Amino acid sequence: MNTAVAPKVQVPDVAGQITYAMRSMGVAPIPRNYQLFYEAYIGSNPALTRDLAALGGQVTQAELDALGAQHFTHSPARVFDDAHTRISGELDGLLRILRQEQSSLESYTRLLGETHKRITSKSNASVELIENAIDLLSQATGDTMAHGERTVEDVVQRSQEMDQVRKELDEYKRIANTDSLTRLSNRRAFDDRLAAIFDNSSMRPVTALLLCDIDNFKKINDAYGHPVGDKVLATVASVIRSNVRRDIFVARTGGEEFALIIDGNTPEEVTGIAERIRRTLETTPFKNSRTRVNYGPVTVSIGICMASSAGDAGELYSKTDIALYGAKNAGRNCTILYQDGMQKDFTKSWLIYKT
C-alpha cells in the first residue's frame, strides 16, 4: 500500500452546500425542495442533476414541483399519504365490524337472559313454551354464528389489505434506498448505515469506512458522453460488489464515489479488501463489444478510516475523505489508510484532484 502526505482539505458539508445553493437561487426552504436539491447534489440521479441545472439561476416553485413529479415517481409524501389513507380506511372498517359484532352479541345475550327467565318461571312452564324457546334459541344461535363467520371473513380480508400496504411500504423503502443506476444502496441508505456504526461502541475497533472514487471520471464523461460514463459506473459497482462478502455494505454515495462499511476486520484485513478491489478494477477491460473502443484503463483511489479513529459519523466520513484525497495526491490508483496527524499536513484543496 502506498503511503503519502495528504493535502489539507476542507471537507464539503452537504447540508451547507444545499442550503447555499437554494438560497442563491431564491428557492423556498421547504422539505420537498430540500429533497430535490439533495438528490441532485449527491448525483445519484444524473438526469435530475442535469435537468435542475438546465433551469438556470432563478427557478419557480412550479418548475421545481414539475421536476419533482417527473423524477420522484415514488415521492415519500405521496407514498405515505396514500398508505395513511388506506390504513385509516381499513381501521375504520374494522371498528365498524367489531361494533356490529358487539351489538349482535349483546342482542343474543339479552335473548338468552329473557328466555332463561321464562323457562325457569314455574308459572309459565309448558311444553309449548319450552318448544318455542328451543326454536327461538336455535334460530338466534344460527344467526349469531353466521354473523360471526362473516365478521371473521371481513376481519381477515381487512387484515390482508393492511398487510398488503405494509408490503408496499417495505418495497417503497427498498426502492427509496437503492441507486437506480448501479442497484447498490444509495446515499440515503448510506447515511443511515454510517450513523448506526456509533450505536455499538464494541464494534468500532473492527469497523471501517472505505471511500472509493473513480480516477479521471470527468475525462471519460467528456470524451465519450454520459451513457458511456453510466456504463462505467455500473461496471465498477458490479466489480466492487462481486469482490466483497455479502454482509459488507456497499453504496454509491454520489457521482463517481462509492462507499463500503466493513464490520469485523482489522485495519490490515480491510486494506487487503480495498487492494483486491483496486487491483481487480485495474485489470478489468472497459471495451465496447461492438465498436471495440477501449474506455479504460479505469482505476480507483481508495481512502480508509477505522471507526475507532472518529468520535461520530461526521468525523469518520471526514477522515476517510482525507485519506481518499491523500490517495489522489499520491498519484491515484492507490489505497491510503488514515493515520493520526495526516490532516495537519494538508496544504491545498482536494477539489483539484476530482478530475
What CA–CA distance (Å, rounded) separates 251 from 241?
Answer: 9
What is the Cα 39 distance to its own chain's centre? Answer: 12
Helix, strand, coil fractions of the chain, as percent rounded to 5: 65, 10, 25
Beta strands (DSSP E) in the chain are: 207-214, 249-254, 257-263, 300-306, 335-337
* 151 alpha-carbon distance from chain centroid: 38
Which residue has 422539505 as its cell numbers?
A: 31
Residue 83 parent element (H or E): helix 76-120
Active site residue 256: yes
DSSP annotation of 178 reads B
Phi-psi region of 157 (alpha: psi -120 to 50; beta: other; left: phi over 0): alpha
Residue 114: partners with Cβ closer than 8 Å, 6 or more residues away: none
Assigned C-alpha cell, 273: 479488501
Q: In what order do the strands lie in the sheet with 335-337?
A: 249-254, 257-263, 207-214, 300-306, 335-337
C-alpha gyration radius of the chain: 32
Catalytic residue of the set 39, 101, 256, 257: 256
Catalytically annotated residues: 256
